[in-house]
Structure 1
Amino acid sequence: MELNGQEYSHPVQEFAYAEWNRLQQLAASQHINSDCKPIWLGTWEQLQNVDTTLLERMRNKRASIYSDSFFITEYDNHIVIAGKGQRAVLFGVYQYAQEVWGLHAVYPQLDEASCEFTIQDSDKLSPFRPGEIRYYSPRMERRGFVFETIHDIPYLTAMLHWFGQNKINEIFFTFSLWDKVKEELSPEIIKRGIDVTLGGHSMKFIQGLHSSNVSMNQQEKVTADHPYTAKEQFDFEQLDWQESMFEQIAHYCRSVPGLTRLSLWPEDIAAGNTSEFLQQYIAFTERLQTYLFHAGISIEVEHIAYNAGLAWNMLELEGESSQHIDTLFAYWGRDYRYSYEKSDHETDHRAERALRQWSEQTTKHGRKLTVFEYYSDHFMLTNLFSVLTRRITEDVAFYEQLGLEGMLNLVVPYRGDEDYPWKWAGGLNSYIFARAMWSDHLEQIIEEYYLHYPQHERKAVKEIIDLLENKLSEVTSWNVPLFPARAVDPGKVAHAAPYNQEIAAMLDDIAEQVGQAVLHSCLEEHHQVSKLAIYVSGYAKRLSEQWLSAAK
């Protein structure tokens, strides 16, 4: 059983084979026993032409509805990694490297000084027994990250590499960001087979691609400086501008490699109190889908249900959902301390009711529903950024139980004057999200994360990270009362007088508890976790003083 050149001529499979050789050599350089049997890499369809007996043993498993399912076995003096699709083969290579060679990619490699992999303890390795078959399948089909404004080629390239290592299958760009990064990132996307979604709040960008005067709702025109209010809303009831925009979208999309889906959203501003807005916008996306179909462009189109500017009429469904396009549900304003069900806030309960209604309707019409979360969003979570291990894993279980198509995680960088390592700070939530989309064993996910640290540091690191999770998630509870400001914006909130003392008390508690934890920790001050905790304690104290000063 050998893989000939023709069989791995597909770019993803060719890359998978190259990665296998690279990782085997890396393992050997780390004095890990990587002497192994010959490797066979391929899809289930290719395996059918080579060994029907082995494939027959996987008959029940092959019924999986998920495109990235794969299995690994040692069979007939070979290692066999076989995937339902080409991308699944690549995922299988990284899975084998982690389980057998201990090469574990916890954080993306952002520079040459950092390591690509954590080398796991030898007692954590899991070599295959002869004839043993291990089967792997995700909990949902779509598992993606959303990038709206991060024009950082090295970071995005590192994230794409990390996606393959952690079995993420989708990257979502706004049109404007994609236009800036497409030349450098396209080759990286192609060889990993990552699905590309274009969209987001990109209507203005597309408007700039053509000369037609787009009809706007002038009643929604505002001039405030804040990004949530400095926009006009499109008038989707007017049809005169839409076909020219569809033409520009079709022309643009023809040149995007790996483009799977369009998810084009209204502007990020409340649409007023009209109940018709959401249905008018959905009708716009349906017309877009029809136009693309007749233009010979075979991609999916979805609409978003999103409470922009806290507008419920843009999130809640009235009547029937679309019978023709899929839905992306994005509720902004969760208190991430709680599940929907256990939240103290009626707004979270209302959002859950809306989500369940969308789920019922999309199921009824045979459409797909994906949820959009903010686990790596440094605007929502602020630079008092909360670790969300329990929230993420519980959310994944809840959404899986609802039968959702998938989950997307938004990455928003920290933008401010503080010396704050947002890429590293947000890495744990990204890791937990990626892993939870494949496993419901939280304890194992957490244990494998802490293997990233030397054994003598793990207990101390865990104590601080657990404290940051317990204390900082409360910061998200203020996003709705202070909207569009947050608990880190004491100088931007004119209506916050009733809250000043309460917010200051929360921040004082964070400063005290985290400061004490650092004081009693055995970690060195220059340790990344210690540095983050020291920053959090000092920053929370400064913010508390500013809130109290504003109350005078």
Structure 2
Amino acid sequence: MGWIVCSGALGLKAQPIRLASDGAANYRIFTADSSRIASEASEELKKYLAQLSGAVFADSDGLTGRTIVVGTALTIKQHPAAIDIPLLTHDSYGLLKRGHTIYLLGGSERSIWYAVYDFLSRLGCRWIAPEFTFYEGKDKYVPVRPRLDYRYAGDIIEQPAFNYRKLYIEEGLSHNVENLLQLIRWMPQARFNVLVAPIDYQGHGRAQWDNWRQQLIPELKKRGIGIEVGGHGYQNFLHAGMEDGRLYTDHPEWFGMDQNGHRSADPHIVFCTSNAEAVAYLNHRIGEYLDAHPEIDIFDFWPPDNEKWCICERCEALGTVTERHALLVSETASYLKNRCPDVKLECLAYHHYTEPPQHTTLDNSVLLDFCPINQQFEYQIYEQESENNKRYNESLRRWMDSFGGDISIYSYYRKYAWRSLPNVIPHYMQRDLIYYRDIGIKGISVYSEPGDWFTFGLNHYVLGNLAWNPRIHVDSLIQGYCTTLYGEAADLVGDIYTELEDIVRFGCNIPFSAPKTMAAYEAYTARLLVCGEQLEAATANPDLDLITRRHLKRVALMVGYAKASARTKLLSTRGAVEEANRVAREMKQTINENKHAGVFIPR
């Protein structure tokens, strides 16, 4: 359930509670917990209350007078003056009123932040994106209200639909310490609760947890955000260069056999998982890494990307790739339960191993992320018309039937293969997430590149809300997003987002979208041309402020890219390949010229 209104709220007329008036606060703030998280959340509350009202909200040393209490429900239930406090757990939280006391309570320290931000949102605040520089201050809205009222219509208790709400750094093409800190500050505002970082993405050394951990850990910890680290990389813990380059020479039998029957040092060939000594070495190395990184809550244990598995007789005797993957993950999970009992192991159902094993039971303590990487976005994940989606859905349902642990969806609602094409899909995501929640899925995740966040900003904002409550009114979210970012041009851009959702996943270069007729591509191109003309006219409007006009130019870049993509499809269908290539080259130049606008990541 995404949200619950306690029975006391049903049918009640909202009562305005005056928090401040004409620069004077009527309430004080009592921080019930002594933790750093509670203290930081209280300071955040005071900061925004001051911005809203112009009043200074002082600290209180107890439940006396008119007080706003910030803390966990467990702590406040033990206070002798607290009355009728409900039990809250994990990420659930409550906004309560008892007499003259307002309670902002979390079921955990992390969800104290959610209670604070929800309370502030009911006072008119909105946070639509991280504070990235290209938003130019339009990432949030904080109204000024000299008479600040909280309209109380009964207690509010909320709990998330999905337990795991994750943002992936993954390739890290545009991440740096500055924008990662901005992302982390936004996560509790959007109620994302896990940040996922690679140990070392593809071994390139750029997207690497150790490059950032010193600066990020304090900010993650004070917000209670889970830290998940790992990624594609059995080879991070067993590769030929280990032991001063002697590991392959000393133990060639530990390495995977290739198609020629040779033991290979190629990191994309999975090591010999049937070799007990090799598995023990790998697990020991993982244990050493986790000992040196005690901040990690979830450890991602994936094979190399685009991997090939050992074909020696002993490995093949273990069964299919899926069976071998499940056996290795379960063995590593068993090892870590003893060595690192507080770390949760995560693995993927992906690529060659999307299907559940037939003869091996995956350890139920493992978190499984299901990856529909070739999802066809013309159809919902559950629709039979798409062979890809049908196959993924059937595999997912078999996992649900056979696996007793938590399953999360590794989503592609922002995908690298889209090359920053504006595949804006808020309603599509809602239909998928309602389905996922109804069948018992426990988590959802998405990539989080800052470099083209503006393009996918609506997807990110809506997904954060859907991960909490899939049945939320999406059109209201879109309206709030557009009003915050585009002001008086909100309705225009909202209509353009609707056009993008109706066109890009069908008529542009989105992988696995079916070819269309020439007439269809002509219609898509014409509709996008109209969008571009509307944006050009709005951008020239001198009554709009300069920041809004610059943001409209960003939307125009998005629309121009979609139009160029649809046009290349049209030209290719006509057989005008040379002209299609010219349009693509011109668009590539535009992308490179605007690579710092938050709209594109050149590839």
TM-score (normalised: structure 1):
0.81
The residue type equivalent to 2:400 in the other structure is S
Q: In the alignment, what sits opposite 1:530?
A: 556
Q: In the alignment, what sits opposite 1:491?
A: none
TM-score (normalised: structure 2):
0.75
Deviation track 1:253-284 (CA, whole Å, cap 9, x = no partner) reads 12435422122111222547975211111211
1:524–1:530 contact (8 Å) kept in structure 2: no
Deviation track 1:357-405 (CA, whole Å, cap 9, x = no partner) reads 101112xx3x2111110112232x3322301101211111111111112
Q: 1:471 aligns with which of 485, 490, 503?
A: 503
Matched, 1:152 2:182: no
Q: Considering only CA atoms, is the larger Rg found in Structure 1 or Structure 2?
A: 2
Q: In the alignment, what sits opposite 2:129?
A: 107
How far is 1:205 from its partner? Answer: 3.0
Partners of 1:3 and 1:183 in 2: CA distance: 32
Matched, 1:141 2:163: yes
Q: 2:431 aligns with which of 391, 394, 416?
A: 394
Matched, 1:369 2:407: yes
Matches within 5 A, 1:263-282: 263-269=300-306, 271=308, 276-282=320-326
**542 and 318 in structure 1: CA distance in 2 versus 1, 3 angstrom threshold:** same
Partners of 2:538 and 2:327 in 1: CA distance: 57
Partners of 1:134 and 1:516 in 2: CA distance: 44
**412 and 23 in structure 1: CA distance in 2 versus 1, 3 angstrom threshold:** closer
Partners of 1:220 and 1:139 in 2: CA distance: 50
The alignment partner of 1:278 has SS state of helix
Q: 1:13 aligns with which of 29, 34, 38?
A: 38
Bigger drift between 37-46 and 461-470 goes to 37-46
Q: 1:218 aligns with which of 242, 253, 258?
A: 258
Bigger drift between 397-406 and 149-158 goes to 149-158
The alignment partner of 1:241 has SS state of helix
Matches within 5 A, 1:107-506: 107-111=129-133, 113-119=136-142, 127-129=150-152, 132-150=154-172, 151-176=175-200, 177-207=208-238, 210-211=242-243, 212-213=247-248, 215-219=255-259, 231-256=268-293, 258-269=295-306, 271=308, 276-307=320-351, 311=352, 313-319=353-359, 321-326=361-366, 327-362=368-403, 365=404, 367-379=405-417, 381-411=418-448, 422-439=452-469, 440-441=471-472, 442-474=474-506, 479-480=511-512, 502=516
| Identical amino acids, percent of aligned pairs | 16
The alignment partner of 1:374 has SS state of coil
Matches within 5 A, 1:82-97: 82-97=105-120
The residue type equivalent to 1:424 in the other structure is F
2:333–2:363 contact (8 Å) kept in structure 1: no
Partners of 1:158 and 1:507 in 2: CA distance: 39
The alignment partner of 1:265 has SS state of coil
The alignment partner of 1:452 has SS state of helix
Partners of 2:125 and 2:260 in 1: CA distance: 53
How far is 1:333 from its partner? Answer: 0.7
Bigger drift between 87-96 and 446-455 goes to 446-455
Partners of 2:169 and 2:392 in 1: CA distance: 24
In structure 1, stretches of 5+ residues that fail to align are 222-228, 414-420, 481-486, 488-498
The residue type equivalent to 1:304 in the other structure is L
Matched, 1:49 2:78: yes
The alignment partner of 1:428 has SS state of helix
Partners of 1:289 and 1:43 in 2: CA distance: 32
Deviation track 1:213-238 (CA, whole Å, cap 9, x = no partner) reads 351242399xxxxxxx9933444333
1:108–1:116 contact (8 Å) kept in structure 2: yes
**52 and 37 in structure 1: CA distance in 2 versus 1, 3 angstrom threshold:** closer
The alignment partner of 2:83 has SS state of helix
Partners of 1:295 and 1:393 in 2: CA distance: 40
The residue type equivalent to 1:90 in the other structure is W
1:277–1:314 contact (8 Å) kept in structure 2: no
In structure 2, stretches of 5+ residues that fail to align are 1-26, 60-64, 201-207, 249-253, 541-549, 580-603
**350 and 455 in structure 1: CA distance in 2 versus 1, 3 angstrom threshold:** same
How far is 1:179 from its partner? Answer: 1.7
Partners of 1:90 and 1:291 in 2: CA distance: 35
Partners of 2:190 and 2:57 in 1: CA distance: 23
2:162–2:437 contact (8 Å) kept in structure 1: yes
2:138–2:485 contact (8 Å) kept in structure 1: no
Q: In the alignment, what sits opposite 2:203?
A: none
The alignment partner of 1:219 has SS state of coil
The residue type equivalent to 1:84 in the other structure is G
The residue type equivalent to 1:142 in the other structure is Y
Bigger drift between 259-268 and 348-357 goes to 259-268
Q: In the alignment, what sits opposite 2:4?
A: none
Partners of 1:220 and 1:109 in 2: CA distance: 53
The alignment partner of 1:140 has SS state of coil
The residue type equivalent to 1:305 in the other structure is A
The alignment partner of 1:294 has SS state of helix
**138 and 359 in structure 1: CA distance in 2 versus 1, 3 angstrom threshold:** same
The residue type equivalent to 1:403 in the other structure is G
**390 and 334 in structure 1: CA distance in 2 versus 1, 3 angstrom threshold:** same
Bigger drift between 169-178 and 107-116 goes to 107-116
The residue type equivalent to 2:140 in the other structure is F
Deviation track 1:312-332 (CA, whole Å, cap 9, x = no partner) reads x54354345424443221121
Q: 1:515 aligns with which of 513, 526, 529?
A: 529
**502 and 277 in structure 1: CA distance in 2 versus 1, 3 angstrom threshold:** same
Partners of 1:186 and 1:455 in 2: CA distance: 36
Runs of 4 or more off by more than 6 Å in structure 1? 1-5, 31-36, 503-506
The residue type equivalent to 1:531 in the other structure is L
Partners of 2:40 and 2:325 in 1: CA distance: 41
Partners of 2:508 and 2:336 in 1: CA distance: 40
Partners of 1:96 and 1:354 in 2: CA distance: 41
The residue type equivalent to 1:395 in the other structure is D
The residue type equivalent to 1:433 in the other structure is L
How many residues are matched? Answer: 501
Bigger drift between 251-260 and 40-49 goes to 251-260
1:236–1:277 contact (8 Å) kept in structure 2: no
The alignment partner of 2:484 has SS state of coil
**121 and 38 in structure 1: CA distance in 2 versus 1, 3 angstrom threshold:** closer
Q: In the alignment, what sits opposite 2:593?
A: none
